[in-house]
Amino acid sequence: MRKIPYLLIGLCLLITLTSRAQVNFQDPIYRYINDGTPVNGVKIITNLDFQDGSQMPTLIFEGYCYGKVAPVGIILNWYIYGGAFYSYKATSFGSYTPVIKLGNENGKVVIYFENKDYHLRFNIRAFAGGTKSKEMLASFQGWSAADGTAAGATNVVTVPYQNSFGGKVMIAAPSTGTSAPAPAAPLHVTNAVMTGSDGISAILGNNHRHFTAFGSINGGRIRGADEGYLVVESNPNGANKTLYLNHESPGNVLIARGGGNVAIGYDASNPSTNPQYKLQVLGTIGARKVKVTQETWADDALRPGYHLPSLPELAAFIRQNGHLPGIPSEKEVKSEGIDVGDMDSRLLRKIEELTLYIIKQDEANAAMRKSLEEMQEKLKKLEKAVDR
């Protein structure tokens, strides 16, 4: 007969240890349904004490948000240490990711979904290891929900989302009956959303200052915005700030094939400095060789019928205008710049004209020499006749 009390005591102790050893609800501990739209957000009031070291629960939210047309799948964890929430994270396995906050109201943990979405419904399942005195079944009972915010709570924190994937991940289009290819990289996206004739496979960032870094936080990065522009740059915080294009590939680099212009050294955000030419450089260009193609050249100055101004005409033009004919003035150059190929052609014409002047002068000098020689010959004949 004495064995019966001992058996009862052992059975009670086993039940107690079992209830404290693990809280693992396959069925929901709370169900939230709202067929309307909350004014402030969803406020879930738990029965978990806000107390150091009292709990380390895992909550699983599963449901659907009709307003966002999104399945709800969220895993939420936290710990309380030093009078504050500690090691709090959320993971999404659905497509609904509301702003989640944790707070302390009247000594109880409160969960806030700040989004105000129409027709939201979800179940909450829970798991707790039972290693803490407060991770008891009673702590997961008697929960309630209200339309509210974290305005009156203390110790409020915003829970960050974090997902990590091992191996390879493929994001593919819905199956059409054919087998999908195996992922060729840790992230392989084979699906796209069509916008006109183009498909968009990924969108990174939601703000013009949201960068996508490569290699590390200090790696090269890109960013864009809804206006349509794209910024590709080396990281100003990196040890090497060089931007490489086809650093190892022998392929060509094509720029502005669509009809735009290229500027170097200009501020693209200032409309007054936007490039007006295919290549516009604010600074000095260094090169070993420059080739300029021309549709016309200045050889017409050497062809028959070309009008070569007389030197008096040239002198009169220079006195009146202060520059050579066919050459832009200093004022024009400062205002409009020069076309290198056209200016080379104009300068060549001047060289050709100068050559023609020299040829004419040489011809005149030759005629004068010949006339002088003839006069000298006549003078010698006269001197001989006088001597006789």
pLDDT at 382: 86
Phi/psi at 183 (5° precision):
-60, 130
Q: Could you tell me the pLDDT band of residue 15, with boundaries at 50, 70 and 90?
A: very low
CA–CA dist 129, 147 (Å, integer): 31
Give the mean pLDDT of 227-254.
90
CA–CA dist 168, 206 (Å, integer): 25
Could you report the per-residue pLDDT of 258-310, keeping only the tens digit for each?
A: 988 888 888 766 766 678 888 888 889 999 998 888 888 888 888 899 999 99
Is pLDDT of 32 > 90? yes
Phi/psi at 228 (5° precision):
115, -10
pLDDT at 272: 64
Q: Could you tell me the pLDDT band of residue 46, with boundaries at 50, 70 and 90?
A: very high
- The helix, strand and coil proportions of the chain, stated in percent and rounded to the nearest 5, come to 25, 25, 50
Q: Could you tell me the pLDDT band of residue 190, with boundaries at 50, 70 and 90?
A: confident
Per-position b or e across 293-312, b if 16+ CB within 10 A of its CB = eeeeebeebeeeeeeeeeee
CA–CA dist 155, 101 (Å, integer): 10
CA–CA dist 363, 295 (Å, integer): 34
Q: What angle do CA 48, 127, 15 make, to 5 degrees?
A: 85
Comparing 100-104, 225-229, 318-322, which segment has the lowest mean pLDDT?
Answer: 225-229
Give the mean pLDDT of 103-111.
97
Asked if residues 327 and 350 have their Cβ atoms less than 8 Å apart, the reply is yes
Is pLDDT of 14 > 90? no
Could you report the per-residue pLDDT of 58-70, keeping only the tens digit for each?
A: 999 999 999 999 9
Q: Could you tell me the pLDDT band of residue 20, with boundaries at 50, 70 and 90?
A: very low
For tokens 């090497």, the residue is: 240
pLDDT at 271: 64
Is pLDDT of 359 > 80? yes
pLDDT at 17: 43
Share of the chain above pLDDT 90, in %: 52
CA–CA dist 331, 275 (Å, integer): 22
Asked if residues 213 and 223 have their Cβ atoms less than 8 Å apart, the reply is no
Residue extents of the structural domains in the chain: 3-158, 213-250, 254-286, 296-388
- Mean pLDDT over all residues of the chain? 87
For tokens 């100068």, the residue is: 354
CA–CA dist 48, 58 (Å, integer): 12
For tokens 């070993």, the residue is: 288
Could you report the per-residue pLDDT of 338-355, keeping only the tens digit for each?
A: 888 889 999 999 999 999
pLDDT at 288: 93
Is pLDDT of 16 > 50? no
Could you report the per-residue pLDDT of 138-167, keeping only the tens digit for each?
A: 889 999 999 999 999 999 999 999 999 888
